Amino acid sequence: MEKTRIIIIDDHQLFREGVKRILDFETNFEVVAEGDDGSQAVGLVEAHQPDVVIMDINMPTLNGVEATGQLIDQYPDTKVIILSIHDDENYVTHALKTGARGYLLKEMDSEQLVEAVKVVADGGSYLHPKVTHNLVKEYRRLATSNAGTIKKEVEVRRPLHLLTRRECEVLQLLADGKSNRNIGEILFISEKTVKNHVSNILTKMNVNDRTQAVVVSIKNGWVEVR
Ligand SMILES: [Mg+2]
């Protein structure tokens, strides 16, 4: 099996080293290069042809969002995961518009980092659970401001024909922005069981990743926006 080639660009060496250590621990990952400024992004991608680029936002010369824009202009297939301390939707929307496939918060745990790289390398998109939650809240705000039609729009119609009761609960908690660990704690089940539920949900809903599952569920009113 071919390894997923990763480049890390972040101006803080210690943070970079931490990320690298976590990723190198995975047998299928290989960190092929590192950079400390967005201005190096294009050159590094040219030289190393990575599958995934992990990109900090705040960097001294060229910030990560601009660097992502430059990268996507020249290498449209580059899969960028933004790594940020900001969880407000302005940053997130901007980053996603620029072409980033993932958005992680620096408060993430190592499991979320690894999952994000796997999902994005696989062609999906990954948002940190807290980011997902903020987007959901923003969606609700927009929907509410649209002439009070919210009630009808987000009226909950659970896909009971499709999902088990437990899977519906897990889906709702995904939309709430909970991580697998949180969901396990709330439902008193192991993290592994949560993972199984999530993978069954994705299969049944015919979507690639949890972000898509949440988006589709909101559109269909399968989850409460709370
Ligand atoms: Mg920085």
Least confident of 2-6, 40-44, 155-159, 186-190: 155-159
Decide if pLDDT at 155 tops 50. no
Share of the chain above pLDDT 90, in %: 62
**Mean pLDDT value of segment 99-107:** 94
Cα(56) to centroid(ligand 1), Å: 6
Decide if pLDDT at 160 tops 60. no
Cα(67) to centroid(ligand 1), Å: 13
Cα(19) to centroid(ligand 1), Å: 13
Q: What pLDDT sits at residue 154?
A: 40
Q: What pLDDT sits at residue 135?
A: 83
Q: What pLDDT sits at residue 159?
A: 59
Q: Tell me, rounded to whole angstroms, the distance of Cα 219 from its chain centroid.
A: 19
Cα(72) to centroid(ligand 1), Å: 20
Cα(60) to centroid(ligand 1), Å: 8
Q: What pLDDT sits at residue 158?
A: 56
Cα(11) to centroid(ligand 1), Å: 5
Q: How do residues 25-58 score in pLDDT, each as one tens digit? A: 999 999 999 999 999 999 999 999 999 999 999 9
Cα(112) to centroid(ligand 1), Å: 19
Q: What pLDDT sits at residue 116?
A: 96
Cα(38) to centroid(ligand 1), Å: 10
Cα(27) to centroid(ligand 1), Å: 27
Q: What pLDDT sits at residue 153?
A: 41
